[in-house]
Structure 1
Amino acid sequence: MFSTLAIVITLLLLMFFAYRGYSVLILAPIMAALAVLFSGDFLSSIPAYTDVFMGALSGFLLKFFPIFLLGALFGRLMADSGAATAIANGVVNKLGANKAILAVILVCAILTYGGVSLFVVAFAIYPIAKDLFKAADIPKRLIPAAIALGSFTFTMTALPGTPAIQNAIPIPYYNTNVFAAPILGIIGGTIMFMLGWLWLQSRARKASAMGEGYGEHNEDADLGSIDIEKKSANDMHNSDVKNHNGQSNLAATAEARDTHHTSFLVAMIPLTLVIILNALLTYAIFPSMDFNDLQTQFPDLNIAGSLGLWSIIISLVVASIVLIVMRIGHWNDLQKTINRGTYDSMLPIFNTASEVGYGAVIASLAGFIIIRDSILNLSPENPLISEAVAMTTLAGITGSSSGGLSIALSTLGEDYLQMALKAGIDPELMHRVAVMAAGGLDTLPHSGAVITLLAICGLSHRQSYLNIAMVTMAIPLVAVVVVITLGTLFGSF
């Protein structure tokens, strides 16, 4: 009983202090130690950190560091080359200012689905969104929700093939790939996009009917003109929260970005390469290869659980090389861009790995057995329901979809796989539901992604959070329910 209470207390403390701006790098081990101490096992607190916590942390780094690193590097290359801006301008010019909300959503979706970090996208697109909304006289308070809808939702968790870290995390647990349950993913993604867009359009129409326009704002207070390092380090404490791979100095994007004109089609080449090459490797190249010799050379290697990760790694490497060789625009300082892209990956990967370490310590406590059994028994005949509840709850507590996914799968992944196989449920469906559910409650007010997005836009929770919550939590959870229902009735497709 005391052990279970200790877990609940430390989870609440983790949420509270994360919202207050403390870094998860120090929060996670402290809360893990407190959970052990509150459970009455005083002598185990230090080995729980050195062995359990650090063991889980290093294991996560071993599996996923290349994806965090390459994703951050690719996003930085896209931003500094001017390709991201070229894509944004191309979409805006095609749709026009009268479709401001749709334009912002689509630009963010194209960039994040192609592998660009959500924070690179948010910082690069905000100035364009601000001008569009002002020209269309749409309230500025809707900008964060429009950016969030395009970046934090369907391109991160639902659309098949997205290179988002969230879509990669279940691969080694379910032996799947990023294209898992593609049709259901498209259905879920369409629901998120359409309902989110309609919601924002309805809010804009209501504001117009009440005579509310863009509003008077001190644009100089936006984060676009403030050094991010003056903000709390934990404003980005889950830079990967909603993709992707974050960056530690957002203001540097504008500093390094090239203004040389680049056509929309040329700028789209690297993004297209990521998706197409990923698909070719997953469905054509790897299935035709014989890995027997490789298995002999590395007997402990789980090839089935690695192929999906290898596809993403190769795709991002090739796309990054192509982008550099093409020299879209003229690089102001390629060395600086590469170095910054590398540094951009560090905080997100260690934040998420620290949360995994915390989860491993929690899972080692006697009280976790009660919590685990309660979750697994929510719907014994349909593990999809139990899985969705576990993923979204932990994502909400940590304020991170990738953190919640990692904790849940590292502690319950094997149980869910066995339950799915016993119930005749395709692991691909388990993969897609897990990722989509993790993209539900992860944007509670303490989420690092939400805090940073509002800071970029120079707005407050009071002004914009309701609409962010609607398009990133309420509607995505509706999509999860639909996908679970369809998957239960008709199986994975």
Structure 2
Amino acid sequence: MSLLIWSVYRGWPVLLAAPLMALLAAALAADPLLATLTQRFMPATGGFVVAFFPLFLLGAVFGKLMEASGAAMALARAIVGHLGARHALPAVVLSCAALTYGGVSLFVVAFAIYPLAIALFRAAGLPLRLIPAAIALGAFTFTMSALPGSPSIQNAIPMPYFGTTVFAAPGLGLISGAIMAVGGLIYLSHAAASNTATNGLETATETQANSNELPSVWLALAPIVTVFGSNFVLAELALPNLDLVYLSEPAWGGVTPSQVIGVWALIGALTTAIILLFALTWRRLESVKETLTDGAEAALVPLFNTAVLVGFGAVVAALPAFSAVSALVEDIPGGALTGLAASASLLAGITGSASGGMSIALDAMGAHYLELALSEGQDPAALQRIVTLATGGLDALPHNGAVVTLLGIAGLSHREAYGPIFIVAVVIPVGSLLAALFLASWLGGF
């Protein structure tokens, strides 16, 4: 595991590092290498692709359409223009949050917001090296793991395991999200006041788009509102009222409706938003075919990077050492919620991926913790929210792919800019998880 972290941190591609490190782990445990590759690594990798390919694909296409049509930039500029340079920090954070909560890929958000952030920070005399942390706070934290209704993949993965939807445990999510957002803004404001105004990024390239070329903010908002509205209608009203008895047949997987409704609703919501966005902005697209192609291709790298980490985790989960670690985790006092939070958080930190660590934890221990939670009288919705929060903390350690990409966009090294990211994307989210665990132990999945 340490070698995987080191290799990714040093810039080796995850697609190569994960299977190689899985085979190395198997060799050290004296397991057969070819059987490990074909019977453990590949089924787990393929299973993740089969389960979540539509969500990665639709999310990437939606994000690309928002970017290419100018809708993402229009919404960001409207928020920035309303708050002004005096409130540069909350303007950047809120712009990122609005876009990611609306379903736009965090990578698209980072590229779209970065030029605006440079201009705002310079106008306000803020330390430019804090821009990556401000973007991380808005894009990597509360909108990804805490806020109910978020279409993020992290919020979608637990649904088949617990029979929940993306709106699970809204009370826990809102409180945790508020802790992350407010805590992160307070920290960044203090850090900005304690530093000189122009640390780093002086060579950054600014790109400005003509405001007259952008769509209206209402047009930019319409697809985002559509994601939430249609998701809620499908998940809570339409799909539960359909006759889905046939799903129990072996030909359809032998599943219960609750195991698929959440995923179906999100697929339907993203599809509806894409159709609406395409109808509203197709004249603004230089090439529809090229935009859709770029969006589809953009889904592949994050999908397969996450999938091979799940495959790596499946190999590790079968090792004797993992069984010993699992036994230690299960002995942690606090019941199902605490045990699931600890195991998922640990795996997210090891893999540097919230979705990868979550999938590994749920594949290995999801059924156990669901059974334990039900025996304790816990709402499965609390399990969903807790596991999502748990993987949204240690995942942002230095080897996280999104962190590496964000620093690359800013042209900064880990030494120059990772410290503030660590506070807003690791320390404060872990604190919000602890608060959520405390509340859930008393109030359940409210």
TM category, shorter:
over 0.9
With normalisation by structure 1, the TM-score equals 0.87
CA deviation vs aligned residue, 1:216-237 (integer Å, no higher than 9, x gap): 64424x6x89xxxxxxxxxxxx
Alignment RMSD, CA only?
1.8
CA offset at residue 388 of structure 1?
A: 1.3
Aligned length: 445
Shift of 1:490: 1.4
Contact 2:180 2:428 (8 Å CA) reproduced = yes
1:93 paired with 2:93, answer no
- Quick check: 1:353 aligned with 2:307? yes
1:261, 1:329 within 8 Å by CA — same for their partners in 2? no
| Runs of 4+ that moved beyond 3 A | 215-218, 293-297
Question: 2:374 & 2:100 partners in 1: Cα distance?
Answer: 33
Compute the TM-score of the two structures, normalised by the length of structure 2: 0.96
Alignment match, 1:288: 241
**Does 1:308 pair with 2:262?**
yes
Letter in 2 for 1:336: E
**Correspondence list, 1:132-281, <5 A:** 132-207=120-195, 212-215=196-199, 217-220=201-204, 260-281=213-234
Distance 1:319 1:340 in 2: 18
Q: Confirm or deny: 8 A CA contact 1:81 1:258 kept in the other structure.
A: no
- 1:15-68: per-residue Cα shift (whole Å, max 9, x none)? 111101111111111111111111123xx2101101211111111111101000
Q: Where in structure 1 are there 5+ consecutive unaligned residues?
A: 1-10, 226-253
Deviates more, 1:289-298 or 1:175-184: 289-298
Amino acid at match of 2:366: G
Q: Which residue of 1 aligns with 2:9?
A: 19
CA separation in 2, counterparts of 1:366 and 1:138? 51
**Cα distance in 1, alignment partners of residues 133 and 405 from structure 2:** 13
SS of residue in 2 equivalent to 1:159: coil
Q: Kindly indicate whether the alpha-carbon contact (under 8 Å) linking 1:80 and 1:258 is maintained by their aligned counterparts in 2.
A: no
Q: Deviations over 1:235-271 (max 9, x none)?
A: xxxxxxxxxxxxxxxxxxx99x997231111110001
Q: Distance in 1 between matches of 2:216 and 2:96?
A: 18
Which residue in the other structure is 1:118 paired with? 106
1:292 to partner: Cα distance? 2.3
Given candidates 21, 24, 32, the residue that maps to 1:34 is 24
Letter in 2 for 1:454: L
Rounded Cα–Cα distance in structure 1 between residues aligned with 2:51 and 2:184: 34
Q: Summarize deviations over 1:93-115 as a string: whole Å, max 9, x none.
A: 11111110000000000000000
Aligned CA distance change for structure 1 residues 294 and 490 (closer, same or farther; 3 Å)? closer
Contact 2:282 2:288 survives alignment (8 Å): no
Cα contact 1:356–1:410 (8 A) shared by 2: no
Identity %: 44
Contact conserved, 1:359 with 1:411, CA < 8 A, in 2?
Answer: no
- Give, in whole Å, the separation in 1 of the partners of 2:369 and 2:320: 20
Q: How far apart in 2 are the matches of 1:378 and 1:52?
A: 28
Q: Give the deviation of 1:302 after TM superposition.
A: 3.4
Q: Is the 8 A contact 1:176 1:431 kept in 2?
A: yes
2:284 match: secondary structure = coil
CA distance in 2, matches of 1:299, 1:126: 44
Paired residue secondary structure (1:327): helix
Q: Which amino acid in the other structure matches residue 26 of structure 1?
A: L
Q: Does 1:298 align with 2:252?
A: yes
Q: Secondary structure at the match of 1:102?
A: helix
Q: CA deviation at 1:422?
A: 1.6
Structure 2 residue identity aligned to 1:333:
S
- Deviation, 1:406, is 1.1
Match of 1:237 in 2: none
Is the contact between residue 258 and residue 329 of structure 1 (CA under 8 Å) also seen in structure 2? Answer: no
Q: How does 1:409-448 map to 2 (within 5 A)?
A: 409-448=362-401
Q: Contact conserved, 1:260 with 1:329, CA < 8 A, in 2? A: no
1:157 and 1:166 in contact (8 A); partners too: yes
2:337 corresponds to 1:337: no
3-state SS of the aligned residue for 1:153? Answer: helix
Q: Summarize the Cα distance change of 1:299–1:414 in structure 2 as closer, same or farther, 3 Å threshold.
A: closer
1:196 partner letter: G
CA distance in 1, matches of 2:142, 2:18: 29
Question: Does the alignment pair 1:449 with 2:399?
Answer: no
SS across alignment from 2:340 = helix
**How far is the alpha carbon of 1:293 from its aligned partner?**
4.4
Q: Residue 9 of structure 2 aligns to which amino acid in structure 1?
A: Y
Matched, 1:482 2:405: no
Q: Distance in 1 between matches of 2:401 and 2:180?
A: 21
Match of 2:349 in 1: 396
Q: What's the CA shift for 1:303?
A: 2.1
Most deviating of 418-427 and 145-154: 418-427
Classify the secondary structure of the residue corresponding to 1:345: helix
Give the Å deviation of 1:301. Answer: 3.3
Gaps of 5+ in 2: none
